[in-house]
Structure 1
Amino acid sequence: MSAPLGVILAGGRATRMGGGDKGLLKVCGRTLLAHVMERLAPQVSGMALNANGDPSRFGALGLDVLPDTVSDYPGPLAGVLAGLDWAAGKGADRIVTVAADTPFFPRDLAARLEDTGTGMAHPLVLAATPDPDRGQVRHPTFGLWPVALRDDLRAALEDGVRKVVIWTDRHGGREALFDGEGEPFFNVNTPEDLVRAGEIAP
Structure 2
Amino acid sequence: MSAPPGVILAGGLATRMGGGDKGLLSLGGQTLLSRVIDRLAPQVSGIALNANGDPARFESYGLPVLADSIDGFAGPLAGVLAGLDWAAEQGADAIVTAAADTPFFPADLVDRLQQAGQGMAAPLVLAATPDARRGQVRHPTFGLWPVSLRADLRQALNDGLRKVVLWTERHGGRDAVFPVGDTDPFFNVNTPDDLARAGQMHEALR
Give the TM-score normalised by the residue count of structure 2: 0.97
Name the structure 1 match of 2:2.
Answer: 2
Name the structure 2 match of 1:198.
Answer: 199
- The offset of 1:132, in angstroms, is 1.4
Name the structure 1 match of 2:190.
Answer: 189
The correspondence of residues 89-168 of structure 1 with structure 2, limited to 5 A, is: 89-168=89-168
Letter paired with 1:13: L
Name the structure 1 match of 2:28.
Answer: 28
- The offset of 1:131, in angstroms, is 1.1
Name the structure 1 match of 2:64.
Answer: 64
Letter paired with 1:197: A
Name the structure 1 match of 2:87.
Answer: 87
Name the structure 2 match of 1:180.
Answer: 180
- The offset of 1:180, in angstroms, is 3.3
Q: What are structure 2's unaligned runs of at least 5 residues?
A: none
Distance 1:191 1:77 in 2: 25
Q: What are structure 1's unaligned runs of at least 5 residues?
A: none
- The offset of 1:133, in angstroms, is 1.6
1:57-90 deviation digits (Å, cap 9, x = unpaired): 0000000000000001010000000000000000
Contact 2:130 2:180 in 1 (8 A): no
RMSD, aligned CA: 0.6
- The offset of 1:36, in angstroms, is 0.1
1:15-52 deviation digits (Å, cap 9, x = unpaired): 00000000000000100000000000000000000000
Distance 1:136 1:85 in 2: 30
Distance 1:62 1:73 in 2: 24
Letter paired with 2:79: G
Distance 1:111 1:121 in 2: 18
Distance 2:136 2:154 in 1: 28
Runs of 4+ in 1 over 3 A off after TM superposition: none
Distance 1:157 1:19 in 2: 24
Distance 2:75 2:132 in 1: 27
1:116-170 deviation digits (Å, cap 9, x = unpaired): 0000000000000011121101000000000000000000000110000000000
Distance 2:128 2:137 in 1: 5
Distance 2:80 2:20 in 1: 21
Distance 2:123 2:164 in 1: 15
